[in-house]
Amino acid sequence: MMNQPVGRNDPCPCGSGLKYKKCCMRDTGITSPDDDPTIELLATAYKQLSERKWEEALSLFEQALPSSKAPYTIFEAMAACYDGMDDFWRASAAYERALETCPKNRRGVLTYRYAVTKARCKQWDEACDAFRTYQSLAPNELSGTRVDVLLQVIQQIQEGRVNENVFEANIQMRRALNAMEEERFSDAAKRLERAAALEPENAAIYFNLGIAYTFMKDEDKALDTFQKCVEINPSAAEAYYNMGQIYLLSKKDFSMALSCFNRAASVRPGYIGAHHQKGKAYELLGYPEKALECWEKTLELDPDNKMAQENIRRVSDLMDRAQKAKAPKSEKENT
Give tens-digit pLDDT for 227-261: 999 999 999 999 999 999 999 999 999 999 999 99
Q: How far does Cα 77 stand from its chain's mean position?
A: 23
> Is residue 329 over pLDDT 60?
no
DSSP letter, residue 5: P
Query: Is the pLDDT at 4 greater than 60, yes or no?
Result: no
CA–CA gap between residue 88 and residue 324 (Å, rounded): 73
Residue 33 has a pLDDT of: 46
Using the predicted structure, report yes or no on whether residue 187 has a pLDDT greater than 80.
Answer: yes
What's the maximum distance between 2 C-alpha atoms anywhere in the chain? 98
Those residues with Cβ within 8 angstroms of residue 116's Cβ, 6 or more apart along the chain or in another chain: 127, 150, 171
104-147: pLDDT as tens digits: 999 999 999 999 999 999 999 999 999 999 998 877 655 667 89
Task: Return the pLDDT at 304.
Answer: 96
pLDDT band at 316 (very low <50, low <70, confident <90, very high): very high
**Res. 152: pLDDT tops 50:** yes
Residue 124: name the closest of 161, 153, 90 by CA: 153
Write the pLDDT tens digit of every residue in 203-236: 999 999 999 999 999 999 999 999 999 999 999 9
Whether the CB-CB separation of 195 and 202 falls below 8 Å is answered with: yes
270-283 average pLDDT score = 97
Q: In DSSP terms, which residues pair with 11 in a beta bridge?
A: 19
Does position 22 have pLDDT exceeding 70, yes or no?
A: no
Q: Is the pLDDT of residue 64 over 60?
A: yes
Please spell the DSSP secondary structure of 122-185, one letter per residue.
T-HHHHHHHHHHHHHHS--HHHHHHHHHHHHHHHHHHTTSS-THHHHHHHHHHHHHHHHHTT-H
Distance (Å) of CA 95 to CA 28, 35, 91, 169, 177: 17, 26, 6, 22, 24
Look at residue 35 and tell me whether its pLDDT is greater than 70: no
Confidence of residue 3 (pLDDT cuts 50, 70, 90): very low
The model's confidence at residue 30, banded by pLDDT at 50, 70 and 90, is very low
Which residues, in sequence order, are CB contacts of 146 under 8 Å at separation 6+?
none
Q: What is the mean pLDDT of residues 52-62?
A: 95
Closest to 78 measured CA to CA, from 101, 61, 103? 61
Q: How many angstroms from the chain centroid is the CA of residue 238?
A: 16
Q: What is the mean pLDDT of residues 35-43?
A: 75
CA distance 74 to 48: 14
Q: Which amino acid is at 275?
A: H
Beta-bridge partners for 19: 11
When the pLDDT of each residue in the chain is averaged and rounded to a whole number, the result is 89
Mean pLDDT of 87-115: 95
Q: What is the pTM of this model?
A: 0.78
Looking at residue 2, its pLDDT comes to 40
Question: What is residue 324's predicted lDDT score, i.e. its pLDDT?
Answer: 83
Side-chain half-sphere CA neighbours of 251 within 13 A: 20
Predicted local confidence at residue 225, as pLDDT = 98
The span from the CA of 95 to the CA of 248, in Å, is 49
Task: Give yes or no for residue 25 having a pLDDT over 80.
Answer: no
Question: Is 64 buried (19+), middle (13-18) or exposed (0-12) by CB count in 10 A?
Answer: buried
Does residue 6 register a pLDDT over 60? no
Q: Measured between alpha carbons, how far is residue 299 from residues 157, 266, 269 in Å?
A: 48, 17, 14
What CATH code would you report for 238-322? 1.25.40.10
Cβ neighbours of 185 (radius 10 Å): 19
Average pLDDT over residues 190-213: 97
Average pLDDT over residues 263-267: 97
